[in-house]
């Protein structure tokens, strides 16, 4: 006679991940997971999510001796008899449901700040290097029309872009000490608002771009680095403006350019 294999449902897997299985069933599920790696991966992911949720709400966790009254409707009667295991488990599940309900209500009010993953909170700043790379790839390779306003109209370029961005005294960085001459600039949409792109070129024909755009909600001034194949970008936030220097040059030279731009924009 063939040994009958246990039937494991998705509900069993969730119960295992949540710690609600009885000991005998728990051992059975452990054996099942050793033989079914796909289910083991799913359970591990659910357990990780559980840990993240607990960590997220740990600072707000509170308990009182009267919490059971919330479940029983406030009708508590003195008793020295222990709560039956089945009823105890039901109380635990009801308490968990209540906690999730409260958490859901809190999420509706505090959701954007409390529950948004870090990568979503950083959308504005993280979008900056992607936009800078796209602008560099599109315009730096253009031979005839890489810019809208040439370097021979630098003053007009700064005034025009400053007005469109509503930035008083917008500067066009000078990178001559690093071997790069201004080619010109153009207007670009950055984070849905007008932004500026300045282009430079050295004696060997290598080009780099300096992008300036609004990035409200971020105040960090630390440099960050992004790389996509051969295209390198240094970017940072200063007040409500974001800056990005992009090029297919060495990271060391790009950092020197970023440092020089930072000094000139901040002065």
Domain identity same for 23 and 101: yes
Mean pLDDT of 240-255: 91
CATH number at residue 245: 3.30.200.100
pLDDT at 248 over 70: yes
Q: Identify the domain containing residue 36 by its residue range.
A: 10-116
Would residue 4 count as lying in a domain?
no
pLDDT at 117 over 50: no
Are the C-beta atoms of 172 and 185 separated by less than 8 Å?
yes
Mean pLDDT of 155-176: 94
Are the C-beta atoms of 213 and 131 separated by less than 8 Å?
yes
Query: In the listed set 49, 81, 116, which residue is the last one of a domain according to the structure?
Result: 116
Mean pLDDT of 190-204: 93
What average pLDDT is seen over the chain?
77
Q: Give this prediction's pTM.
A: 0.55
Domain identity same for 126 and 256: yes
- Look up residue 7 and give its DSSP letter: P
pLDDT at 9: 82
Helices (H), 201-248: none
Domain identity same for 145 and 223: yes
Mean pLDDT of 105-134: 56
* Residue 267 structure tokens: 């002065």
Q: By percentage, how much of the chain surpasses pLDDT 70?
A: 67
The span from the CA of 106 to the CA of 8, in Å, is: 35
Would residue 5 count as lying in a domain?
no
Q: Dump pLDDT digits (tens) for 198-226.
A: 999 999 999 999 999 987 665 566 678 88
Domain identity same for 107 and 151: no
What angle separates helix 10-18 from helix 37-57, to the nearest 10 degrees? 40
Domain identity same for 130 and 98: no
Domain identity same for 149 and 49: no
């Amino acid at each position: 006679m063939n040994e009958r294999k246990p039937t494991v449902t998705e509900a069993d897997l969730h119960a295992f991940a949540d710690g609600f299985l009885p000991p005998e069933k728990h051992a059975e599920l452990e054996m099942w997971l050793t033989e079914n790696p796909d289910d083991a991966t799913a359970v591990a992911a659910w357990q990780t999510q559980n840990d993240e949720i607990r960590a997220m709400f740990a600072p707000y966790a509170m308990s009182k001796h009267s919490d059971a009254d919330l479940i029983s409707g406030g009708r508590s009667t003195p008793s020295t008899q222990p709560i039956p295991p089945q009823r105890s488990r039901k109380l635990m599940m009801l308490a968990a449901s209540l906690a999730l309900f409260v958490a859901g209500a809190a999420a509706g009010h505090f959701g954007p700040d409390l529950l948004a993953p870090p990568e979503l909170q950083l959308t504005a700043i993280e979008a900056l290097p992607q936009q800078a790379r796209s602008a560099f790839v599109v315009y730096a390779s253009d031979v005839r029309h890489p810019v809208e306003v040439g370097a021979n109209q630098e003053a007009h370029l700064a005034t025009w872009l400053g007005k469109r961005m509503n930035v008083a005294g917008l500067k066009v960085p000078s990178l001559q000490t690093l071997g790069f001459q201004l080619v010109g600039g153009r207007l670009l949409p950055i984070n849905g608002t007008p932004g500026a792109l300045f282009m430079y070129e050295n004696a060997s024909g290598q080009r780099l771009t300096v992008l300036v755009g609004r990035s409200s909600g971020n105040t960090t001034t630390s440099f960050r680095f992004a790389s996509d194949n051969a295209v390198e970008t240094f970017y940072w936030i200063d007040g409500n403006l974001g800056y990005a220097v992009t090029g297919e040059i060495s990271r060391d030279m790009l950092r020197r350019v970023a440092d020089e731009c930072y000094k000139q924009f901040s002065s």
